[in-house]
Amino acid sequence: MNDTLTLILAGVAGATLGAIFFGGLWWTVRKGVSSPRPALWFLGSLLVRMSIALAGFYLVGRDRWERLLACLIGFVVARFIVTRLTRPAGEKQTHPAQETSHAP
């Protein structure tokens, strides 16, 4: 297969893994906050999400650093997309609020 196409597919696979990982994190936080046993939700979710991500990186990389890098870039891009999509509707602030000084 063409090297460029392989790298594009690795990037798409990384984006898919990232969407699963960070989408699962968002879902876990929403469920875990209202659960009587939040530690079980967070620990179980962490194990499942990490297992999926690591297995995906292992299968995509296949001893080729170029594929692994493309997969990582797709994973990070998915983080930004999921963060943007799961932001509350009223939140438009892009920078953290500056702290006020208490000193005169």
pLDDT at 89: 77
DSSP 84: H
How far is the C-alpha of 84 from the C-alpha of 78, rounded, in Å?
10
At 101 the pLDDT is 67
Burial 71-98 (b: 16+ CB within 10 A, else e): bbbbbeebbeebeeeeeeeeeeeeeeee
pTM of the predicted model, to two decimals? 0.81
Nearest residue to 48 via CA among 68, 31, 72, 62:
31
Task: Give me the amino acid identity at 82.
Answer: V
pLDDT for res 50: 97
Residuewise pLDDT in 10s, the chain (104 residues): 689 999 999 999 999 999 999 999 999 999 999 999 999 999 999 999 999 999 999 999 988 999 999 999 999 999 999 999 988 877 665 566 666 666 66
Confidence at residue 91, expressed as pLDDT on a 0 to 100 scale: 67
pLDDT at 10 (0 to 100): 96
**DSSP for residue 6:** H
